[in-house]
Amino acid sequence: MAKIISFANQKGGVGKTTSAVNIASAMGISGKKTLLLDFDPQGNATSAVGIKKSKAKYTTYDIVIGNASADQAIVQTEFKNLWVLPSNMPLAAAEIELVDVEKREFALKNAIKTIEDRFDYIVIDCPPSLGMLTVNALTASDGVVVPMQCEYFALEGLSQILMTIKRVKELYNPSLSFTGIIITMFNGRLNLSAQVLDELKKHYADKLFSTTVTRNVRLGEAPSYGMPIQYFDKYAKGSEDYNTIAKELMKRI
C-alpha cells in the first residue's frame, strides 16, 4: 500500500512543485515505484516530467468528477520508476462542481483507492490555495510536507497551513500527520533568511528537514526541459539536496 504525501503551501512561488517533482524523482531512482499526482490546475508538475498537459487523455479532473478511473489516467514517464497523474486547467472547475457532491472532501481519496497497491509512494502536488482541492489532497494523505522560503510572510503563511492540517485531521482524516518543512531557495548571505531560519528552529526544530535547498540556477532551468533535476544535471547542488531530503522523507513517513 502506497504512502501518500501532499506537498502543500497556499503561497505560490515557494518551490512547492519543484520539491514534489524532484523528491518523487529521487524516490523513483532509489527503486521505489512512485506516482506524482498533479493536483494543481496549472499542471506545472505534469510539464516538469515531460508530459504535454494539453494532450493528456484523462487528468485528475476526470478522476475526481468520475469521468475516468485513476488507472486510465496514469501516464508512465521516461524516468525510472516514475508515473504521473496529469493535470490541466479544467481541474479548477472541480472546486465548483464538487460543491453539491455528498462527502466531497473524499473525492480524491475514493478515486485513488484502486491504485494505491501499485505504488510505494504517491506524491501529491497541491494547488497554491487552501480550497477544496487542497482539502481533498490532505484527506487522502498520510502526511503533509510544507515547502517554504525563509522570508517574513512565509511564517504567517505557515500558521495558516498548520491550522488547515489540524482542521482536516479533526474532521476528515485522523491519521494525517504534519511530516515536515522543507526550506527552499535558501540564501545564507541574507540576514533575513538566517533570522527566519532561526525562528523556525525555535518553534519547529523537529519538523525541519536537515537539508535546506539552496538557490540554484539549474533547478530553475530543469522544468523548461521537462526533466527532474537528477536527469537534467545530476551533479547540480539541487540534485544532491533533493536526493538527501527524499531519503529523510522516506524514513519519516
Q: For residue range 73-98, list pLDDT tens digits in order.
A: 999 999 999 999 999 999 999 988 98
Edge-to-edge strands, sheet with 143-149: 75-76, 82-85, 34-38, 121-125, 3-7, 143-149, 177-184
Q: For residue range 157-204, list pLDDT tens digits in order.
A: 888 999 999 999 999 999 999 999 999 988 877 777 888 888 888 989
> 180 forms bridges with which residues in the sheet?
145
Other beta carbons within 10 angstroms of residue 114's beta carbon come to 12
Alpha carbon distances (Å) from 113 to 64, 122, 133: 12, 11, 17
User: Given this model, what pLDDT does residue 89 score?
Assistant: 94
Ranges of H-type helices in the chain: 16-29, 44-48, 60-65, 70-73, 91-97, 107-112, 132-140, 152-171, 191-204, 217-221, 229-232, 237-252
> Structurally, what CATH architecture does the domain formed by 3-252 represent?
3-Layer(aba) Sandwich (3.40)
